[in-house]
Amino acid sequence: MKQYILSAVSALAITAMLGCSSTKSQTGTKGFTRLFDGKTTTGWHTYGKTTAGAKWKVEDGALHLDPKGPGDGGGDLVTDKEYSNFHLKYEWKVAPKANSGLIFYVHEDKAKYGATYSTGLEMQVLDNDGHPDGKITKHRAGDLYDLIKSSSEPVKAVGEWNSAEIISKNGKLEQYLNGVKVVSTTLWDDNWKTLINGSKFKGWENWGTFKMGKIALQDHGDSVWYRNIMIKEL
Q: d(Cα 13, Cα 11) in Å, to the nearest integer? A: 5
One-letter amino acid identity for 75?
A: G
Ordered DSSP codes for 204-229: -TTTT--SSBEEEE---SS-EEEEEE
- Hey, how many other C-beta atoms are within 10 angstroms of the C-beta on 159? 11
CA distances 195 to 68, 121, 192, 202, Å, are 37, 12, 5, 9
Q: Which of 16-30, 131-145, 160-174 has the lowest mean pLDDT?
A: 16-30
CATH code for the structural domain at 28-233: 2.60.120.560
Greatest C-alpha distance within the chain? 75
Q: d(Cα 202, Cα 51) in Å, to the nearest integer? A: 32
Task: State the average pLDDT over residues 89-111.
Answer: 98
Per-residue model confidence as pLDDT tens digits over 83-93? 999 999 999 99
- Higher pLDDT: 220 or 21? It is 220
* H or E segment to which residue 173 belongs: strand 172-177
Q: Is the pLDDT of residue 111 over 60?
A: yes
β-partners of residue 167 are 87, 174
pLDDT at site 14: 38
* H or E segment to which residue 8 belongs: helix 2-23
Q: Is the pLDDT of residue 11 over 80?
A: no
Q: d(Cα 72, Cα 69) in Å, to the nearest integer? A: 9
Per-residue model confidence as pLDDT tens digits over 142-185? 999 999 999 999 999 999 999 999 999 999 999 999 999 999 99
Q: Is the dihedral of CA 54, 60, 64, 66 positive or negative?
A: negative
Angle at 33 between CA 28 and CA 34, to 5 degrees: 95
Task: State the average pLDDT over residues 7-24.
Answer: 46
* H or E segment to which residue 106 belongs: strand 99-106
Asked if 141 and 131 touch (Cβ cutoff 8 Å), the reply is: no
What is the number of H-type helices and E-type strands within the chain? 2, 13
pLDDT at site 23: 74
